[in-house]
């Protein structure tokens, strides 16, 4: 079954997405997510100019061979643009294979290992009352685990915190767009935010103490430090949060310098999650073999697709490390659906991030997965269970948007 067409579709229904649609000679289509927040057009060009010409005429069923062909054949390996492109091809081919088989994709990955995926939502607020309201709203929506982010005294805005002040500056051009749907602001250049590490380290433990006092000891709580800390600062934060029994502490220090996580591990028993900026299995070798982390954060979209991420999870399982797949709204519903099918099948599932896409996004991406009782569940439609409405998508053209950059109080750039 040969590939006859591959279309790169760029649209912005609430935020920017890059979608690859592969079509076979039999008319079967498959979708893959190639979205790379703030660098969408780079991936679209890589796909259109370098990858699509290589796909025409290839066997759509030869998923592993195509993965290796695209990875090894370019000579320049790895990197987010390359791996997001390979991920889109790989996911689309899995979608096609499952449709031809007449089965939901998870059945081709070994079938169910669980009934659904426990997820966590993003609760945040500039101050405690707003944060408590956000947590309560998430619990009422059915979430059974929440990530807690809060404003820092003295800072006008903090990345990852959805508040009325942020929403006004916010992100999408649609009427339903909110900061927590799209933290990448619509502008020609990134927004700059100030950061104060000492204020953050003082404030964070008081927030989690207040949350535990309000919501009790059973609710799984997560927190993201967004790569902002040095190793010793990360160790200090992990230790200070131990009394509040976090499910995990995420991205405590820039992930490129893996050896420094030994320092963090020496000083805290708070579980650590890392990897959303990693692209391949080789990025994890030291972290796995020295058991420096507890959860893998890579998404299907940025780690070489289902084939690439499945290898990472199999490697992690050897060291009793679990999945914690990245799932904000800069992963499209196609990428989320792929993560759900993979998460249902793997033995070492941990938790799935689930930031709900906006209604505008779902006008373009029609999905069959469901959220109930704190869990995501795949539909039983053949393939991924996602359709792309190109006619609707064309009414939402690309518009430049960037995640914010941080500066310390002295004006210097902050390494995060």
Helix (H) or strand (E) holding 375: strand 375-377
Distance, CA of 360 to CA of 14 (rounded, Å): 6
Alpha helical stretches, state H, 365-415: 390-393
Strands 352-353 and 375-377: unpaired
* CA angle, 136 then 141 then 145, to 5°: 70
Strands 375-377 and 370-372: antiparallel
Q: Report which of 179, 159, 146 is spatially closest to residue 227, judged by C-alpha positions.
A: 159
Active-site annotation holds for 226: yes
Distance, CA of 405 to CA of 192 (rounded, Å): 5
Residue 321's SS3 state is coil
Number of C-beta neighbours around residue 187 at 10 A: 14
Q: What number of residues does the chain have? A: 416
Q: Please, what is the angle between helix 80-101 and helix 63-73, to 10°?
A: 170
Please report, for residues 118, 227, 327, the alpha-carbon distance to residue 376 in angstroms, rounded to integers and kept in the order given. Answer: 7, 28, 12
Distance, CA of 379 to CA of 406 (rounded, Å): 40
DSSP 61-74: T-HHHHHHHHHHHT
Active-site annotation holds for 267: no
Q: Report which of 16, 8, 83, 4 is spatially closest to residue 399, judged by C-alpha positions.
A: 16
Contact assessment for residue 120 and residue 145, using Cβ atoms and an 8 Å cutoff: yes
Residue 244 phi/psi, 5° resolution?
-105, 5
Residue 188 phi/psi, 5° resolution?
-75, -20
Give the active site residue among 143, 159, 179, 181: 159
Q: State the first-to-last Cα distance of the chain, in angstroms, to the nearest integer.
A: 45
Ranges assigned E (strand) in 131-177: 146-150
Give the active site residue among 50, 61, 203, 226: 226
Residue listed under structure tokens 């992990």:
238
Helix (H) or strand (E) holding 167: helix 164-169
DSSP 249-288: EE--S-TT-GGGHHHHHHH--S-EEE-TT--SGGGGHHHH
Catalytic residue positions, numbered: 159, 226
């Amino acid at each position: 079954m040969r590939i006859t067409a591959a279309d790169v579709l760029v649209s912005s229904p609430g935020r920017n997405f890059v979608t690859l649609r592969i079509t076979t000679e039999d008319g079967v289509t498959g979708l893959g997510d190639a979205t790379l927040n703030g660098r969408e057009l780079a991936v679209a060009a890589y796909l259109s100019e370098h990858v699509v010409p290589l796909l025409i005429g290839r066997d759509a069923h030869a998923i592993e061979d195509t993965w290796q062909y695209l990875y090894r054949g370019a000579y320049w390996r790895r990197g987010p643009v390359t791996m997001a492109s390979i991920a889109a091809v790989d996911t689309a081919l899995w979608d096609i294979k499952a449709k031809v088989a007449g089965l939901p994709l998870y059945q081709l990955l070994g079938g169910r290992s669980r009934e659904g995926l426990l997820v966590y939502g993003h609760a945040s607020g500039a101050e405690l009352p707003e944060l408590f309201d956000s947590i309560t709203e998430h619990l009422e929506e059915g979430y059974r685990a929440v990530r807690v982010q809060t404003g820092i005294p003295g800072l006008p805005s903090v990345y990852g915190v959805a508040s009325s002040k942020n929403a006004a500056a916010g992100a999408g051009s649609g009427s339903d767009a909110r900061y927590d749907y799209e933290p990448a602001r619509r502008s020609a250049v990134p927004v700059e935010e100030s950061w104060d590490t000492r204020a953050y380290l003082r404030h964070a433990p008081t927030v989690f103490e207040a949350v535990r006092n309000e919501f009790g000891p059973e609710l799984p709580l997560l927190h993201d430090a967004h790569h902002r800390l040095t190793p010793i600062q990360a160790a200090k934060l992990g230790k200070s949060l131990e009394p509040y029994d976090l499910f995990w502490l995420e991205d405590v220090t820039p992930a490129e310098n893996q050896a420094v996580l030994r320092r963090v591990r020496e000083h805290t028993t708070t579980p650590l999650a890392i990897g959303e900026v990693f692209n391949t299995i080789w990025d994890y070798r030291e972290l796995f073999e020295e058991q420096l982390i507890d959860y893998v954060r890579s998404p299907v979209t940025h780690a070489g697709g289902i084939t690439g991420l499945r290898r990472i999870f199999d490697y992690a399982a050897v060291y009793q490390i679990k999945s914690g797949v990245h799932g904000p709204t800069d992963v499209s519903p196609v990428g989320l659906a792929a993560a759900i099918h993979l998460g249902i099948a793997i033995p070492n599932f941990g938790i799935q991030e689930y930031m709900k896409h906006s209604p505008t996004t779902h006008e373009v991406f029609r999905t069959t997965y469901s959220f109930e009782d704190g869990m995501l569940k795949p539909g039983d439609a053949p393939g991924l269970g996602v359709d792309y409405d190109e006619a609707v998508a064309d009414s939402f053209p690309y518009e430049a948007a960037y995640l914010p950059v941080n500066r310390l109080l002295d004006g210097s750039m902050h390494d995060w």
